[in-house]
Amino acid sequence: MQGTQKLSELTKSFKVLLVEDNQDAQKAIADLMSNFFDDITLANDGADGLKKYHEGDFDLIVTDINMPNMSGLEMIKHIREENLHIAIIILTAYKDADYLLESIKYTVDGYIIKPINVKELHNTINKTVDILHSFRKNLEYEHHLEQLVEEKTKALIELANRDPMTNLYNRRYFNEISKTLFNLAKRDNQTLSLLMIDLDHFKKINDTYGHLVGDDVLQLTAKVLMRNTRECDIVIRFGGEEFVILLPNTTIKGALSIAEKIRSAIEKEELQLGNQKSIRVTASIGIATYENAVDTDIDALIIKSDKALYAAKESGRNCIKLQEGYQDES
């Protein structure tokens, strides 16, 4: 009774293909198997069985061996070339001993001697279902492990691409994404702008208030940058107190508007130190834009934005400068 309950639980969703050329035997076997399986498809010989195998998604095949048109062994041979895991039980008469020996090389999971004994049928199906159940559990476990590995890999990649202090993207990620965005802009004849941002007198903040306060300033600046950029923009901590923002499909005029919004927001931000003390910081920004075929790679854009940043520093800081060849509007 316990075995029957176990079979009922495990076989409820199983799809079975029964291949038998003798119609009376087919009906009798199907009736017996209906005690174990709800979904049974019938085939009349090996050729019919192979056709229906390709049309369905079966968990178990129960087949006679000696049949016209195509034998059970020939059908099994074709199926095993495509599927090594589907369970197969063969039905055989004592006179089919030679066929039975040949079936071993096709990795048959069980066999039932004709005329069929109900207890033998029960035991063979029980054993095969246990194998099927274990195989399914292993597949589920392997799939679960693959998902875990994929999730962990994504998390590690994301971690490797993030600056731990500000949680902005880091220079490693910049080196990858900047080349991709530049190549896309070049291919699609679009613009790509780059903001090079440097906090003014940051060393003085560290020297005066300590590195912990300096870290707070960097974290506060990162939040300001994220609040004042678009979803498509990529904000990066480039190193130290220097930040880079990639602005896809953005002209130099659009980049200047975003840069001024950022510069003004940083200037207005206040970091509370306690004891009613607070500090403010400012930033200098250099802008470069790819909008023609002059620049050959992202490095050219970095050099131009870096020169523009240097010009902003030389002009008194807390201002914006454009790459050479453009008139400053700040």
- Same domain for 130 and 191, yes or no, is no
Domain count within the chain: 2
* HSE-CB of 247 using CA atoms within 13 angstroms: 28
Assigned domain for 151 exists: no
Assigned domain for 80 exists: yes
Looking at residue 80, which CATH number applies to its domain? 3.40.50.2300
Assigned domain for 165 exists: no
Q: Which of 117, 140, 163 is the last residue of a domain?
A: 140
* Mean pLDDT of all residues belonging to the chain: 87
- Same domain for 226 and 134, yes or no, is no
- pLDDT, position 152: 78
Pull the structure tokens for residue 324.
């050479």
Beta-bridged to residue 63, according to DSSP, are: 19, 90
- Same domain for 220 and 129, yes or no, is no
CA 40-128-141 angle, 5° bins? 100
- Same domain for 92 and 192, yes or no, is no
Print the domain residue range for 132: 2-140
Instruction: Note down pLDDT in tens along the chain; length 330 residues.
Output: 344 455 556 666 789 999 999 999 899 889 988 888 889 999 999 999 999 999 988 989 999 988 888 989 899 999 999 988 888 998 877 555 566 666 666 778 888 887 777 788 778 887 887 777 777 777 777 787 788 788 877 778 778 899 999 999 999 999 999 999 999 999 888 999 999 999 999 999 999 999 999 999 999 999 999 999 999 999 999 999 999 999 999 999 999 999 999 999 999 998 888 776 889 999 999 999 997 767 788 999 999 999 999 999 999 999 999 998 776 544
Active-site residues: which are they? 241
Looking at residue 313, which CATH number applies to its domain? 3.30.70.270
Instruction: Judge contact between 90 and 112, C-beta under 8 A.
Output: yes
- Same domain for 303 and 179, yes or no, is yes
Q: Which of 98, 121, 140 is the last residue of a domain?
A: 140
Assigned domain for 153 exists: no
The predicted-structure confidence for 67-91, as pLDDT tens digits, reads as follows: 888 989 899 999 999 988 888 998 8
- Same domain for 54 and 193, yes or no, is no
What are the DSSP calls for 159-178, one per residue? HHTB-TTT-SB-HHHHHHHH
Instruction: Judge contact between 222 and 167, C-beta under 8 A.
Output: yes
Any idea how long the chain is? Answer: 330
Residue with tokens 């049309």: 55
Q: What's the CA gap between 35 and 5, in Å, rounded?
A: 11
Q: Which among 131, 69, 62, 68 has a CA at the least distance from the CA of 90?
A: 62
Q: What's the CA gap between 89 and 178, in Å, rounded?
A: 59
Instruction: Judge contact between 58 and 17, C-beta under 8 A.
Output: yes
Assigned domain for 227 exists: yes
- Same domain for 263 and 125, yes or no, is no
- Same domain for 317 and 212, yes or no, is yes
Q: Which among 190, 322, 294 has a CA at the least distance from the CA of 247?
A: 190
